[in-house]
Structure 1
């Protein structure tokens, strides 16, 4: 005996073709908890597990992250001022010493990924002062808040999902600290990129972005995956220079990396 009738074909087709709406964004803290409940369903459909969903449920609206996102002045500086503010002369001097002290490590990375030491050291110095300050903001709350915020929801959504999956994997915890925009580890990976490009650089069987070897190997892997050409120059006008834009879209940042990298590698 037939217990139900199938949907009429046109109606069934419409239902199957209808996209699942993404959770609605907001510009104040007032709708954050309601949005989180909606986003949890989206995260579950994307494959986030119970640990990630629990981390999402425990996030707080990150006011300091929103303030930082509205006030990124340094990228509007001239190149000279940007380099002075970022302390590039110090990064170059320390970078040369770090390269000399760990020559085999950087040579191994270049053999594996084709990215020279100067570029990786410049990124490491620029992002966290060689690991001296990797941020004091909750990574998951920061990236989830930016996904909720209407300004750049679509950009941050895959990184929020990435952060929750990193929690599932045990690569980060719900309490992991990072930068104001949710960047994490020695070279400040956005979580979605960490999930996709992270590699085990020290051979201990896990990817830990707060371990220098893992972070630098992952950075080299990211650049190579974005089109870095081994053995080629990386100054303005080159193919490799355009790859630096994949790391940070600000022109002064790319210029600084190219200048510092070349001077460290001299």
Structure 2
């Protein structure tokens, strides 16, 4: 074979291989170095996942959330004993206020249980645990937080669908590039991760939009999420039951599950 033809054939084969090879995923990192370069690569993934111009623009404007990374490295409360965890989370206050909230809006909680099968105690306990009944829903930029966690190597795969979810929520106007939430990018009254918010969100008050910073929408969405994850209406949710296992879908920490079970039961008494 002539050398010129060999190089020509080799060049054609190389081009074909490059076109057929899958695009490499954005490479994660453990410091702010490389974040901007990673965003450029991730934008390609996001576009292919259906993220539109507004979401891509929001991605471009994100900043490395060092506060989120610090919080992610220091989740010590989940290592507490059950007693310590409940004390730190203010379980007695949540139970007392939860009973009052249930008594003040019985029809609302009854309607949620009728539609989704999830009792008031569980939903109220989650609401109290997550944001002190909406008292503090976070001060971190949601999009930057969730994008940073996707870039971070520790749990990239877990957070990737939530980053895509956040960007798609920007596209449809459910959140803005400046929406504030918790350190891990959780939204609203019950702290939904964006991917879950996009999939399980419910317009509970019938105003035509799903707003996780609206209590009715947030609690209806929480009930919808638990039902979708396998909650069985009318069944108990103490430790060892089917519904207790479903609570793990909300938060995988065993102390969190058990606390919800105890507080929910006491609120419903």
TM-score, normalising length: structure 1: 0.94
Q: CA RMSD in A?
A: 1.5
1:5 aligns with: none
**Per-residue deviation, residues 111-169 of structure 1 (Å, max 9, x unmatched):** 00000000000000000000000000000000000000001000000000000001011
1:185 aligns with: 188
Distance in 2 (CA, whole Å) between partners of 1:168 and 1:199 is 18
1:262 aligns with: 265
Distance in 2 (CA, whole Å) between partners of 1:70 and 1:41 is 28
User: What's the offset of the Cα at 1:20?
Assistant: 2.9
User: What's the offset of the Cα at 1:21?
Assistant: 2.0
Distance in 2 (CA, whole Å) between partners of 1:254 and 1:238 is 12
Rg (Cα) greater in structure: 2
1:100 aligns with: 103
Output aligned runs, 1:17-96, within 5 Å.
18-96=21-99
2:146 aligns with: 143
User: What's the offset of the Cα at 1:255?
Assistant: 0.2
Equivalent in 216, 220, 234 of residue 217 of structure 1: 220
2:231 aligns with: 228
1:4 aligns with: none
Distance in 2 (CA, whole Å) between partners of 1:224 and 1:95 is 21
* Aligned residue pairs, count: 257
Equivalent in 113, 116, 119 of residue 116 of structure 1: 119
User: What's the offset of the Cα at 1:30?
Assistant: 1.1
Equivalent in 114, 132, 137 of residue 134 of structure 1: 137
Unaligned runs of 5+ in 1: 1-7
Equivalent in 153, 156, 168 of residue 165 of structure 1: 168
Report the secondary structure of 1:30's partner residue: coil
Distance in 1 (CA, whole Å) between partners of 2:16 and 2:102 is 63
User: What's the offset of the Cα at 1:250?
Assistant: 0.2
TM-score, normalising length: structure 2: 0.93
Report the secondary structure of 1:40's partner residue: helix
2:246 aligns with: 243
2:158 aligns with: 155
Distance in 2 (CA, whole Å) between partners of 1:79 and 1:19 is 47
**Per-residue deviation, residues 86-105 of structure 1 (Å, max 9, x unmatched):** 00000000000000101000
